[in-house]
Amino acid sequence: MTSSVLYWRAFWGLFLRDISVLRREFISFLIRTVMNPLFFVFVFTYLFPKVGQGFQSSAGASFGTLVLPGLLAVGIFIQGIMATALPLSMEIGATREIHDRVMSPLPVTWVAVEKIFFSALQSVLAALVIFPMAYFIPATPVQIHISSWPTLIGILLLASLVSGAVGLTIGTVVRPEQIALMFGIVVVPITFLGCVYYPWAMLAKVRWLQILVLINPLVYMSEGLRSTLTPSLPHMPAWTSFLALTIGLAVLGWTGVRGFLRRVLT
């Protein structure tokens, strides 16, 4: 048996093991995935219109139409981070389970990459859970027109991988006891400044902020999904999101893998 075949079998074995754990904890996965988007969608797109406080974009679209791509993006982003950063901090710190993983017949780099791919799977599942919820709950009709299925699938996959890479980076750079603090001072600002609740073009009135948020990967996830789900609304060109997310995956993936090797091998 060649080493490459052995590596792929070991990689697939780790992946299947993680899937088995996810199946046993699927209820908790659904709860942490659904709760935040559910209450946001219910309050802002169902309750507010019912009491006469509805929102509408400048293009005439309902607020549900405006925020659906952003909610998918933030669901992918948060799930990718939680699926990687929190378990990894436990495996490195409290349980020491990471040592069992790196003893598998697999290069340590591949162990880190497997974590990114598994978190990407969870992010895609999160998007599949959030989409019908954000589509059917709003009191006013949500107008979705998928301009390109290949673009949509490509953005979903890239966004999921980038989210996993962000989670790997946070999980290896931040100490386990500081993970909760990191969510407060990093993840929350990234979410609110990630063009989730408004298109990037609307920030033109605050030009310095419009430029500053371009370092935020969530901006390109939201705008990429907006370009293919709600093409009638203002959005970045799809190629911009593809390019930025590809660069982000390369940079964050390299940073996360380097941090993983440093934490595990030392």
**pLDDT-based confidence at 11, cuts 50/70/90?**
confident
Q: Which of the pair, 197 or 162, is modelled with greater confidence?
A: 162
Q: What are 157-173's pLDDT values in tens digits?
A: 999 999 999 999 988 88
Q: Looking at residues 114-133, what average pLDDT do you find?
A: 89
**pLDDT-based confidence at 218, cuts 50/70/90?**
very high
Average pLDDT, the chain: 84
Instruction: Pick the most confident of 30-44, 52-66, 90-104.
Output: 30-44
Q: What is the pLDDT of residue 58?
A: 52
Q: What is the pLDDT of residue 135?
A: 78
Q: What is the pLDDT of residue 190?
A: 87
Q: What percent of the chain has pLDDT over 90?
A: 34
The long-range contacts involving 247-255, CB below 8 angstroms and separated by at least 24 positions, are 248/162, 248/165, 248/217, 248/220, 249/158, 249/161, 249/162, 249/165, 252/162, 252/165, 252/166, 252/168, 252/169, 252/217, 253/113, 253/116, 253/161, 253/165, 253/168, 255/165, 255/169, 255/173
CB 118 within 8 A of CB 15: yes
Q: What is the pLDDT of residue 27?
A: 86
Instruction: Pick the most confident of 45-59, 132-146, 230-244.
Output: 230-244
Dist. CA 108–CA 103, nearest whole Å: 9
Q: What are 12-37's pLDDT values in tens digits?
A: 888 888 888 888 888 888 887 777 77
Dist. CA 160–CA 75, nearest whole Å: 10
| Of 3-7, 167-171, 246-250, minimum mean pLDDT range | 3-7
For residue 170, what are its two tokens?
């946070």
Q: Which domain holds residue 234?
A: 3-265
Q: What is the pLDDT of residue 18?
A: 85
Angle at 259 between CA 194 and CA 94, to 5 degrees: 95
| Of 175-184, 186-195, 223-232, minimum mean pLDDT range | 175-184
Q: How far is CA 207 from CA 47, 137, 200, 226, in A?
A: 33, 34, 11, 21
Dist. CA 82–CA 84, nearest whole Å: 5
Q: What is the pLDDT of residue 208?
A: 94
Dist. CA 77–CA 71, nearest whole Å: 10
Total domains in the fold of the chain: 1
Q: What is the pLDDT of residue 160?
A: 96
Q: The pTM is what?
A: 0.89
